[in-house]
A = this chain, B = another copy of it.
């Protein structure tokens, strides 16, 4: 039986990036930029005032002080957005607001607080400033040709502000992968139905859809296929128009696990059927007419953990994201863990950073059907294949499930 890394290698090798689409920047939050964005403009486009005050020639006020103020004639007043009409000459000042272009002839700004203007239009300057003082030079934020946001970046608020800053109304982002989700199992009923004895609600489709959306994909719910070949084939065919097809359930070795037989009947090449892990041993992957197919196990926790390890990174890779894995940290295990050797276990745990190190507390109930411990955990402790005991206080590797690095 292959291990998790071997399965990942087989999968990621077959996952290709998908195309892009152009969106308005107001719709781009959280999307993945699909091209490097270089600025065609300098920001600011022209030297401008960093403060409200007076534009002057620094040489005119080089001896100015509280006791011996320089006196300049105010020849114009400009607000942001307006270019001065005058060219500043010696002995003159222009009243200027933050962001307004530096007038021709001026080389420094004196803060309003260091001045006093009288009714006759003469301003007293109480402080000597150097040439360049409170002047923002053109291009100090962005120069023409600068790379401002990189391909593969997840667009957050500062990045979107930057795109607007350089005048981009739209940008190219990776298309959101369409993910068809088919739940399988005779025991499943939809949320709108009332389960009879022996039946349970289909929760996997909704949990998977949320996982898909969290990973930037678009979920397409195909409903429930009962355990018969016709239902399955119908569902699978519907899923073939998506970018990825996921099924849950039916990939084990039981008498009624028809997904395996059905796929084999369809003549598809499935790369593997099992991975040496827990929860989630039964797990299939292959290309179905060129479409990546993930046959996830049916137990709710197994489904979600398998999605985490195999489908989520695939969706990120499809979108052109480089760092496709969750953050892993070393944490101190608070509690003991036991298991039999061979399979790697992913232990649901609550992991916190305690001032100077990470601590990981495994949840008590770890059954692959126990969804409440998935709700209460924020991380998975890795319990290696051939280990049988992890002692209290040991340093363990932990996958953080709620990081936001991508």
Q: Contacts A200-B45, A202-B164, A367-B136: A188 and B372 contacting too (C-beta < 8 A)? A: no
User: What are 18 residue pairs bridging A and B, where the CB atoms are less than 8 Å apart in the complex?
Assistant: A25-B206, A44-B369, A45-B195, A45-B197, A45-B200, A46-B197, A81-B227, A82-B186, A99-B200, A99-B298, A142-B371, A161-B206, A161-B207, A161-B210, A165-B201, A165-B300, A168-B191, A404-B404
**Counting CB contacts under 8 A, is A399 at the interface?**
no
Q: How extensive is the interface on chain A, given as a class?
A: 35 or more
By a beta-carbon cutoff of 8 Å, the part of chain A in contact with chain B is 25-26, 29, 43-46, 50, 52, 77, 79-83, 95, 97-101, 112, 136, 140-142, 146, 148-149, 155-169, 185-188, 191-192, 195, 197-211, 213-214, 219, 221, 227, 252-256, 298-300, 304, 329-330, 353, 355-357, 365, 367, 369-372, 374-375, 377, 402-405
Across the two chains, which residue of chain B brings its CB closest to A377?
A: B158
Closest 5 CB pairs of A and B: A161-B207, A81-B187, A164-B203, A157-B210, A81-B186
What residue in chain B is nearest A198 (Cβ atoms)?
Answer: B83
Whether the Cβ atoms of A156 and B186 lie closer than 8 Å is: no
**A169 contact set on B, CB distance < 8 A:** 191-192
Which residues of the other chain, B, contact A252 by a CB distance below 8 angstroms?
52, 98
Q: Is the interface of A mostly helix, strand, loop or mixed?
A: loop
On chain B, the residues within 8 Å of A204 by CB distance are 161
For A211, the closest partner residue in chain B by CB is B157
User: Are A370 and B141 touching (Cβ within 8 A)?
Assistant: yes
- In the complex, the chain B residue whose C-beta lies closest to that of A353 is B329
CB distance from A204 to the nearest CB of B (A): 7
Pairwise interchain contact B197-A83, C-beta atoms closer than 8 A? yes
